[in-house]
Amino acid sequence: MSFTLDAYAARSCPLKTVNLFTPNLVAPSLERPDPPFFRDADAIEAEVMAAVLGGPGRVVDLRPLREGPSADAEAACLEALASGADVVIAG
């Protein structure tokens, strides 16, 4: 296949020109990936939190304080950090 680029191609985006005039170029698939963590996010979150809570170091879980006043959660977080917690969840 032989062709000549015209003046419009010279003025347009170089990447678009390369893509347009590259033989055997295959367009990417438009299908979205479906990774497992999109299917059951709650189960993945529970698994990750269990791994963090069961891991080494001192872990403080402040998730039960989410529904209460934010001042209580902030005070609990500062207390956990001051006491040397390695990980504070929902702090």
Nearest to 5 by CA among 23, 25, 20: 20
Do the domain assignments include residue 37? Answer: yes
Q: Inform me whether the pLDDT recorded for 74 exceeds 90.
A: yes
In the predicted model, what is the mean pLDDT of residues 58-71?
Answer: 94
Beta carbons of 73 and 66 less than 8 angstroms apart: yes
Distance between CA 88 and CA 8 in Å, rounded?
Answer: 59
Q: What is the pTM of this model?
A: 0.55
Q: Inform me whether the pLDDT recorded for 5 exceeds 70.
A: no
Do the domain assignments include residue 2? Answer: no
Domains identified in the chain, total number = 1
Do the domain assignments include residue 16? Answer: yes
Do the domain assignments include residue 1? Answer: no
Range with top average pLDDT, 7-11, 19-23, 27-31 = 27-31
